[in-house]
Structure 1
Amino acid sequence: MTPRARLRVALAAAVVAGCGSDGGPPRGVSSFWVQVVQVNGEAPPSAEEPLPANRGDTVDTWSFRIEARDAAGRRAPFDGMVRLSVEPGAVLDVEADDEGVAVGRNIRLTAGVAEGVARVVAVYGPTRLWVEDLGYRPVSRGDVPACSNGANDDAPGDVLIDFPADPGCAFADDDTEEGGTFAAGVSKPVAYALPRIADVQGGGSATPYPSAAMQIDTAAPRQVVVTRVSSDGFYVTDLAGQGGGYNHLFAFNFNTPANMRICDRLEYLAGTVNEFFGFTELSFPSYEIAPVQEGAECLVPEPTVLDGPTIAGASAMEGLESGLVRVEGFHISERFGPKPARGNVFAADQSSCDLNGDGQVDFESPAERSCANACSDDPECSEWTSYSARGNYKITDGSSTIQIQTGAVSAFDPTSHRGEVIDAVTGTLRNFSGGSLNWTIEARCPDDLVCAAPGCAPAAKSSKEACVRTRSLDDSDAETN
């Protein structure tokens, strides 16, 4: 064998030896093993007996253990901070055990291990605890963090300085401009129930799940029933939530949902929860209509009749948001017409505060703002521009005032009947946070408007009949409804 050949053999042998089992794969941190040990001081709930969905008004405590692991699954000697989060939901803060260190939602691992307690809110459904190494090292009290000192503290070739310019800075109080490994880990799911409609509404003025994409609990004993189908979506009520309120919801579908009718029951409902000027919506909904049984009873509940204290009570109205409601014996505002007001004086056909004729009320204009406020304060004044834009107008019984929208009753012209009594108007209750009169009853069809005028129904119908279109099992229009 020539010397050159012997050298090649020796090099090949060295390479083989270097790839052998002399230490295994690298021991740097590759992932994190995460275990939720207890929930609220007890063993984690089972999928068969989940905890109720957390609405964000209470705090749950999760005791956990974290271990850093290398690529072979062995414990890695990692010393550093990791960031904790839950999905879905939010971590408020983290408390380490007696020997550990925690800052906000971050906890330090020592020799690859950390134990502590996370306080979590707004968790629902199968929820997991996530851990990630962002390279975050919180600065000691009184010191200037490396990510806010105006200097380049990492590699000389890196010309980026401080947070947020330097990607190695997780936060402004990060004391290192070096990035993390971005190793991550996730726990097994902690069992919470899916949220009900009442959970989504939250029992207050805003949802506890803003911008959250979720599935809503529609399983028995819940009966989620369609109460209205509109040009931009549909309204549902969870009959299992009757009595507690907050059990109604609007699903914003952008257009009329296909093959859906009032009385339909939904066996699946999901979407993204949003607040639209104070009105809780489920956007981009996915849904499945339960099989229709010939002759099945319509389960739409009777509307709640609003009285003065209810209309004046913000909490009471919030509990009825998107639900079927009714007012009786109210009359249309007497001052309601297209002509401009003059000096904040309104007349029968003179209630427009668009004083310059540009088609809108400009609240930057002192005159138009003053006019709109004066009309808003007058129960007998319905501002014309609001009606022409959205179809809303006022009705009052002398002590209570509310807006209604009767565009679905095409044969009824409210301006022709200003000052006249409406025996009853039924519809879904919508909230809009702008202005002082935030609630509007939107009629669904001519059945919902009862009065002596043309276009009105002669008498109120049962909710099992009003606006209900009979569906047959052999519906020839099923694909185009």
Structure 2
Amino acid sequence: MTARARRWAGLAALTATAALAGCGSEGEPLRGVSSFWVKVEKVNGEAPPSADEPLPANRGDTVDTWDFRIEARDPAGRRAPFDGVVRLSVEPGAVIDVEAAEEGVAVGRNIRLRGGVAVGAVHVTAVYGPTRLWAEDIGYLPAARGDQPVCSNGANDDAPGDVLIDFPADPGCAFADDDTEEGGSFSAGASKPVAYALPRVADVQGGGSATPYAFEGIQINTAAPQQVVVTRVASDGFYVTDLAGQDTGFNHLFAYNFNTPANMRVCDRLDYLAGTVNEFFGFTELSFPSYEIAPFQEGTACPVPEPRVLDGRTIADATAMERLESGLVRVEGVHVSKNFGPKPARDNVFAPDQSNCDLSGDGQIDFESPAEGSCANACSRDPECSEWTGYSARGNYKVTDGSSMIQIQTGTVSDFDPTSHRGRELDAVTGTLRNFSGGSLNWTIEARCPDDLVCDAPGCASAVKSSKEACVRMRSLDDNDAETN
């Protein structure tokens, strides 16, 4: 035997000795619960969906029922005689409750195993993509109804050296109705994935005023028939529209990138888009986005859709505006409010150069101040008043057709001075629609570039351009912070 062979033989003997030692001095197998075998047997009464035909992403507005079987397993993979309670969860998504045929077996999101087995149904919502059912032993034993739970009896019921008493001080107490202060084994198990589709842009928007996936990391469904197209490249991110959702709306989204996204342009189609979903004062955002741009094919027409022209009825309809959030919109035949200037308003009287409701001069409006709050509310109700503080802080100002009104932001049109154009007509204003929950005038149209502002003033475009051409520029830089690196 060579020296190398002897070393391998010695290592094998050492490994075998260690394995035997791990089984105990008498060579007995390890016992107790090591994991849980979890199987989802039915989804909504039928066989679980396949990856080729997934169920639609659940937005959290419906409840699905999963029938399951759970078995406790020992370290050797055999069924373990575990008589205890496991906590159920789904990832991603949420468990509403658990039900079982035997009374008292299911409690909330928990189910008791008898002889190492539990059979029941779990109600889930907000599930999407490959979703798994998890079971974990957290040491929770719900007290019987009417009994005083050990974890809320004011006594120390576990180890003598443990001075911690009851929930939440004692880490062995999962909840206040826990009937044991002993911790669990934290053994766990997960099912094979249940196939749901990834959320579309419309799913992330949620079909209402708030996303159903707040603070979740989401991968957007960009596969056919979805067609996710970049409609704006901004200094702090980019806007996309899913062309497959145009009939129902809610198909637009802003991705907050903190700076201009690299190597992107209007008209790009995205093959991949993911990030963390947030609601920023009522505005749905995809933060920290990751994306992949589809290869450009020569001769392909720009797929950016034409903007939706807003009328007074649409602007007054909160649901209709939500459908268009982050989308391309346009107003036509409006004029800048006549009263729009830096001088303080007095007694709620406004003039061409006098619409500032910051009467104290501290740079902001105090709505708890009777004078400033009353001034701001009066200006907000008046189509011909555009409050100065909003413009000086965020660049927003009001336009109106005499009855309906909306805010616009034209900071991207550097040569245009809104105050010198007050009271004068703007032929058309195009841009992405942004929401900010505060006050009665929540919506702002943000012009993307000079092409989006049509008027007879310096900096404006002379005519409306097609969306296939408007604001279509060269790609952004690969490294926008190159000068500071």
Compute the TM-score of the two structures, normalised by the length of structure 2: 0.92
Which of 102, 105, 112 is residue 98 of structure 1 equivalent to? 102
Whether 2:329 is the aligned partner of 1:305: answer: no
1:179-218 to structure 2, matched below 5 A, reads: 179-218=183-222
| Aligned counterpart in structure 1 of residue 30 of structure 2, from 25, 29, 53 | 25
Tell me how far apart the structure 1 counterparts of residues 163 and 366 of structure 2 sit (CA, whole Å): 50
Match of 1:281 in 2: 285
**Higher mean C-alpha displacement, 72-81 vs 278-287:** 72-81
Superposition deviation, residue 220 in structure 1: 1.8
In structure 2, the partner of 1:354 is: 358
Conserved in 1, the CA contact under 8 Å of 2:23 and 2:29? no
How far did 1:295 drift?
3.2
Q: CA deviation at 1:470?
A: 5.0
Partner Cα separation in structure 1 for residue 104 and residue 145 of structure 2:
17
AA matched with 1:364: E
> Hey, what does 2:243 align to over in structure 1?
239
How many percent of aligned residue pairs carry the same amino acid? 80
8 Å contact 1:333–1:396 — kept in the other structure? yes
Q: Deviations over 1:33-82 (max 9, x none)?
A: 00000000000001111111111111110000001111111111111111
- Residues 17 and 270 of structure 1, relative CA distance in 2, 3 Å threshold: closer
Q: Name the counterpart of 1:137.
A: 141
* 1:248-290 deviations in Å (ceiling 9; x for gaps): 0000000000111000111110001111111111000000111
* Counterpart position of 1:62: 66
Task: Tell me how far 1:291 sits from its aligned partner.
Answer: 1.1
Q: CA deviation at 1:18?
A: 8.4
Gapped regions of structure 2 (runs ≥ 5): 1-16
Contact 1:62 1:118 in 2 (8 A): yes
Moved more, 148-157 or 177-186: 148-157
1:5-16 map, 5 Å: none
The corresponding residue for 1:371 is 375
Aligned partners of 1:367, 1:168: CA distance in 2, in Å? Answer: 56
CA distance in 2, matches of 1:479, 1:387: 31
How far apart are the structure 1 equivalents of 2:138 and 2:179?
12
Distance 1:335 1:391 in 2: 16
1:120 deviation in Å?
0.5
Contact between 1:278 and 1:432, CA under 8 Å: does it hold in 2? yes
AA at the equivalent of 1:82: V
Question: For residues 416 and 101 of structure 1, do their structure 2 counterparts lie closer, same or farther at Cα, with a shift above 3 Å needed?
Answer: same
SS of the residue aligned with 2:391?
A: helix
User: Does the 8 Å CA contact 1:311/1:317 hold for their aligned counterparts?
Assistant: yes
- Is 1:439 matched up with 2:440? no
Which residue matches 2:227? 223
Question: In the comparison of the two structures, how many residue pairs are matched?
Answer: 463
Which of the residues 269, 272, 277 maps onto 2:276? 272
d(CA) in 2 for partners of 1:399, 1:65: 62
Partner-residue secondary structure (3-state), 1:310: helix
**Structure 1 counterpart of 2:10:** none
Structure-1 residue corresponding to 2:77: 73
Shift in Å, 1:463: 0.4
> Retained in 2: the 8 A contact 1:100–1:114?
no
Q: CA deviation at 1:449?
A: 0.5
Compared with structure 1, are the counterparts of its residues 451 and 146 closer, same or farther at alpha carbon in structure 2 (3 Å cutoff)?
A: same
Question: TM-score, with normalisation over the residues of structure 1?
Answer: 0.93
RMSD of aligned alpha carbons:
1.9
CA contact (8 A) 2:237 2:254 kept: yes
SS of 2:402 mapped into structure 1: coil
What residue in structure 2 maps to residue 464 of structure 1? 468
Quote the residue 1:455 is aligned against.
459
Partner amino acid, structure 2, of 1:24 = P
Change in 2 beyond 3 A, CA 1:480/1:391:
closer
**Equivalence for 1:4:** none
2:260 matched to which residue of 1?
256
The runs of 5 or more residues in structure 1 that have no matched partner are 1-11
Give the distance between the partners of 2:292 and 2:304, measured in 1 at CA.
18
Q: 1:235 to 1:183 in 2, by over 3 A?
A: same
Displacement after TM superposition at 1:363 (Å)? 2.2
Contact 1:100 1:115 in 2 (8 A): no
Aligned counterparts of 1:396 and 1:445: Cα–Cα separation in 2: 21
Equivalent residue letter for 2:40 = V
Farther off after superposition, 370-379 or 31-40: 370-379
Q: Which moved more, 1:35-44 or 1:69-78?
A: 69-78
SS at match of 1:209: coil
User: The residue matched to 1:240 in structure 2 has which SS?
Assistant: helix
Alignment of 1:329-340 (within 5 A): 329-340=333-344
Deviation at 1:350, TM superposition (A): 0.8
Cα deviation per residue 1:436-459 (whole Å; 9 max; x = unaligned)? 111100000010001111211111
Render the CA deviation track for 1:210-235: whole Å, top value 9, x for unaligned.
11101111112221110000010000
1:326–1:16 Cα change, 3 Å:
closer
Judge conservation of contact 1:259–1:480 (CA < 8 Å) in 2. Answer: no
| 1:338–1:111 distance in 2 versus 1, CA, 3 Å | same
